[in-house]
Homo-oligomer: A and B are copies of this chain.
Amino acid sequence: MTGDDVRVRSAAPPDVVRGAHDAVARAVARLRTGGQRVTPPRRAVVEVLAAADEHLTADDVSARIDAVLPGVNRATVYRTLETLADLGVVTHVHVGHGATVHHLAGEAVGEDHLHAHCRRCGRVVDVPGDLLDAVRGRLVQELGFHLEPQHVALSGTCAVCSPSRAHRVPSGET
């Protein structure tokens, strides 16, 4: 959308990617130290994620890249996302019904938060990162189960769609 050169070499900051530059630089560095090649499509994926204000599906990423570096294939985006996940640069969250959204991992962009998904409007809400700490402890002790709270979104109904006051955006059930 905001036309900008994604192939920026790491000097000469454009204007949209602004604050996310360190994140991009760090991600690229981690690619290198991980023995991976730094290619335009990969750089684009990182930059799109860094510039995103929300969590993106693979197709979201694909679409945004297309606006800036046309011709990058869906499969490449998926593969890149996977590579970046292996390196710990990117995290994905499974959201109830559809999607599976991606974002730069932890420290990179936002702080440490978890996700909750509204069954009614589909919105993904950020919730406190420590929300499940007690639960995690209990699961390890009682069942030996090691919880990874970031990996799936909690499910329910958000404040806006709350049962009490019926509200907006009715869409498919999750």
Contacts and interface: CB of A to CB of B under 8 A. Distances in A.
B153 A152 contact: yes
Contact of A145 (B142, B148, B158): B158
How many protomers of this protein does the assembly include? 2
A127 B140 CA distance: 11
Contacts of A97: 94
A152 B116 CA distance: 11
Instruction: Summarize A's interface: helix, strand, loop or mixed.
Output: mixed
Interface of A: 94, 96-97, 116-119, 125, 127-128, 131-132, 134-135, 138-139, 142-149, 151-159, 162-163, 174
Given A116-B145, A119-B148, A144-B158, 4 more contacts: A139-B156, A143-B158, A144-B162, A146-B157
